[in-house]
Amino acid sequence: MKGLTKNKYACAVLALSATFFFGSCATTFEPPPINAPVYDGQANITISEFRAEYLQIATSSEPVEITENYVIRAVVIGNDISGNIFRQLYIRDETSAINLGIDYAGLFATHRVGQELFLHLKGLSAVIYGGELQIGFSSTNANRIPWEIYRNHVFFNGFHDPENAPQPVVTTIAQLTPDMVNTLVEIRDVSFVNGGSRNFTNGVSTTDEAVVDHDNNRLVVRTSSFSDFANNPLPVGKGTLTGILSRFNGNWQLLIRDGKDVGTFDNLTRFPENDEQNGNITFFHETFGGHNGATLKIADFHGFDMQSPVEYSDPSGLSDVRATQGVEHVWFPANRTAQLIINNINSSAYTDITLEFDVAANLFNAGSTINLNVMNVECNGITFAIPDTPVSNADGDSNRYRSMIIENIPSTANVTIEFRANAETNTVGLRLSNIKLTGVEREGGNVIELFPN
């Protein structure tokens, strides 16, 4: 009897334990509520007002400490999620946008695009880098804000809401203005100059690749070799790009935030469009595309698109072949008389010949201006006038190429074209690129295909 009673007790304990165990498993666990961060305060200055004030104070040589109790309310528009933006953050409010240098990798984990934040500026610094205003910190690596300091200056307001992520400003290359610096933009109907033949980077270093629109306006797409799309091929044809519009020493640059910023390209259209549809044939085209990254004098450069019998020379010895912002070109230095002479171009099989080329000015200093018609062009001893084309740093024209067209080029077996910039008028430095001759084929003429498709 005692043993039986003991067994009944044991069974009762087991039954009770089982009931407790399985009942516990069936109980729904309620996690503690996560409260959205709320900032209990107000902004007292806009980004536009801050930029206007500190652009008058800050210099490129020394960061200026912010001593006022300024607070900015802004939204994140660009972070380091792909590795193309390094230790930087781009924010905007309803008036403007600005860049923050923060000494921390992995900002995207907490600073997602669309996250609203309030930034206390007192104790941080206004920094001028590449001619543009940034928020940073003095006496640190690249004047970036140390992470432990930055955390005491930033306050989130609410959670990131993907549906409220900021929309880009839709624009064109020709419409870019200085007040758009650091803004998220969408640029439509552009084509990569090297689409289909190169990747976004060379795999070794940060790489500039140019895009061009229908009017041959150019913009550089700047990509880090550490980005997760660095080895993706440049798309072919016409398409749309989204990214942060930055500027360095007056030169526009587009920073793609991640691969999703590269829109759909039609894999077909290229700019400038082929003139053959209008009856014109391009029989000479020099892009200096054989440039390998080194700066070389004309006599030392062997990567010309057009080969023998065409000859290139520079009696001055001052011009050289370079690649700047993804565009290969010949550089004519400021305050020097420099030349590029191209001999032995056969145009005899064509009529109605037109010379086209792109020229840009290196308007590095604020307030600098020049008229691009200071580039002199002679063809078989005849001087041709370039259209009146004034450009200025204030209008964002530094290193922005403009297309020039000269008609009535001679039809002969030997055309010589000379480009010359004189010391007296070339006060800033000029860049020459994309030289092209087009014409209508003579009926029954023998065409020498110098530039095959």
- Whether 266 contacts 191, CB under 8 Å: no
Identify the CATH number of the domain in which residue 322 sits. Answer: 2.60.120.260
The three-class DSSP label of residue 168 is coil
Query: For residue 296, how many C-alpha atoms fall within 13 Å in the half-sphere facing its CB?
Result: 15
Evaluate the omega torsion of the peptide bond into residue 146 and state whether it is cis, within 30 degrees of 0: no
pLDDT of residue 2: 39
> Tens digits of per-residue pLDDT, 108-139?
999 999 999 999 999 999 999 888 999 999 98
In a domain, residue 122? The reply is yes
- Whether 246 contacts 274, CB under 8 Å: no
Higher pLDDT, 425 or 197: 425
> Tens digits of per-residue pLDDT, 160-174?
877 778 899 999 998
Q: Which long-range contacts (CB under 8 A, 24 or more apart) does 300-305 make?
A: 305/451
The three-class DSSP label of residue 300 is helix
The three-class DSSP label of residue 369 is strand
In a domain, residue 25? The reply is no
User: How sure is the predictor about 293, in pLDDT bands with cuts at 50, 70 and 90?
Assistant: low
In a domain, residue 178? The reply is yes
Do 342 and 412 lie in one domain? The reply is yes
Averaged over 336-348, what is the pLDDT?
96
Tokens 């549906």 — which residue? 163
Do 289 and 372 lie in one domain? The reply is yes
The last residue of one of the domains, among 164, 199, 228, is 164
Q: How many CB atoms lie within 10 A of CB 122?
A: 12
Q: Dihedral (C-alpha) 189, 193, 197, 200: value to the nearest 10 degrees?
A: -80
Do 437 and 295 lie in one domain? The reply is yes
Confidence (pTM): 0.64
With CA atoms as reference, report the closest residue to 211 among 194, 226, 227: 194
Q: Is the pLDDT of residue 388 over 70?
A: yes
Q: Is the pLDDT of residue 1 over 50?
A: no
> Tens digits of per-residue pLDDT, 213-255?
887 788 889 999 899 999 999 999 999 999 999 988 777 899 9
pLDDT of residue 446: 43
In a domain, residue 18? The reply is no
Alpha-carbon distance of 185 to 246, in angstroms, equals 10
User: Number of folded domains in the chain?
Assistant: 3
Do 290 and 363 lie in one domain? The reply is yes
Alpha-carbon distance of 129 to 247, in angstroms, equals 10
The last residue of one of the domains, among 113, 138, 164, is 164
Alpha-carbon distance of 450 to 453, in angstroms, equals 10
Alpha-carbon distance of 46 to 70, in angstroms, equals 9
- Can you give the residue range of the structural domain that contains 63? 47-164
